[in-house]
Structure 1
Amino acid sequence: MPSAVALVRAAKPEEALAHFERRLRLEADCWDTHYALTEQIQDFVLLDVRSPDLYNQGHIPKAINLPHGKIIARKMREYPDDTLFVVYCAGPHCNGANKAAVRLAKLGYQVKELIGGVEGWKDEGFKLAVTP
């Protein structure tokens, strides 16, 4: 009898490749994002899509606060059409980043979700900025 892990047969390598490449096109992790913000040229806009109160209590440095419900065409016109957005919310228990990603994609923008959100950021040992 196979283990619970092997009970369902693994995908063929080409299927796995397509799946994981797709995930990398849709997600960014905290470590890569931190490295880009601190060591590289920032070639994306980091959006904290939580409420202003939560943002002020602690957010990822260099993030812009724009709650997902306020992502509308009029507000987004200031960004070039080829802008890449990385969106985050509280963490895996929150779907605000998904809602923001849907809105941005509908407006024609490239978007990735930051895996883990604020909680993932803290889990990696990275500090949050606080707005006085």
Structure 2
Amino acid sequence: MHLVFCYGTLRLGESNHSVIKGAALKESFCWTKGQLYDTQDGYPALVQNEEHKVYGEVYEVDDQLLERINILEGYQEGRDHNLYDRVIQEIKSAQWSFEAITYIMRNREERFIKIQGGDWIDYRKDKR
């Protein structure tokens, strides 16, 4: 089993949540270090940054669900041209601190819009 930090479209109520149907929600409000961006393609990108927080949820997934997430994220182990790097990163909540798989954007593009506050769901609500 694997813990995965979900900060964008995999979160509950978001467009790709069905990809992880059957996963166990382990933490509904948690964060990690990073800066969140709107890619303007319908999904966010987490970029490594030590000064900001990105908010999300942590799910426990099996190997099959992890592979489904890898496909969604365009990640293939050992491939040079992945959109995201898959890393193990510290995740914190009010009660816990643990490590989880996190998908980090490799290259931030100029067109990306910084998401103040680091929460994809709040950002989308504010845009409406």
TM-score (norm 2): 0.26
TM-score (norm 1): 0.25
> Could you say which structure has the higher strand fraction?
2
> Could you say which structure has the higher helix fraction?
1
